[in-house]
Amino acid sequence: MAYLILFVLIGVGAVLALVAAVAALGAYLRFRRARIELQEGLASEVERLSRRTGELERGLVALQERSARLPISISGLQQNLSTLQLLTGALAGSLIQAQKVLSYSALKTLSGTHLGRLLRVPSGETGRPS
């Protein structure tokens, strides 16, 4: 009878060990599945961040190129501005001369010689046939 009790206790212990082993195996499989999902998620996130970093690097290179051209553009704009100021001054002078020439009262009072002097055309070279 003692052997029977020992045999039953060993059997119960073996069943409990089997249940514990199955539970541990299930926990290990869940852990492994979670780890694989986490690795896949991290890998896709790292890949996405890598692509985004590449985009940022290309953007920075473009910005550096633009910033490198910026001082040249500013000096070019300053030269263009100087030229524009010169041309504007010349245009203003020409417009003042044109206003003097086209003024109704000036046309009445000016002689051909005076008009020629305003236009800087000598009166002898008016292009009349001789």
37-55 confidence digits (pLDDT tens): 988 888 888 888 888 888 8
Q: What end-to-end distance do the CA atoms of the chain give, in Å?
A: 159
Instruction: Report the pLDDT averaged over residues 13-31.
Output: 97
123 near 116, Cβ under 8 Å?
Answer: yes
107 near 119, Cβ under 8 Å?
Answer: no
Cβ count within 10 A of residue 65: 10
pLDDT at 60: 85
CA proximity to 106, closest of 118, 95, 94? 118
pTM higher than the cut 0.75: no
Residue-wise pLDDT tens digits, 120-130: 655 554 544 44
Kindly give, in sequence order, each residue whose CB lies less than 8 Å from that of residue 85, ignoring residues fewer than 6 positions away: none
Pick from 74-83, 87-96, 97-106: least confident: 97-106
Q: Where are the domains of the chain?
A: 2-121
88 near 71, Cβ under 8 Å?
Answer: no
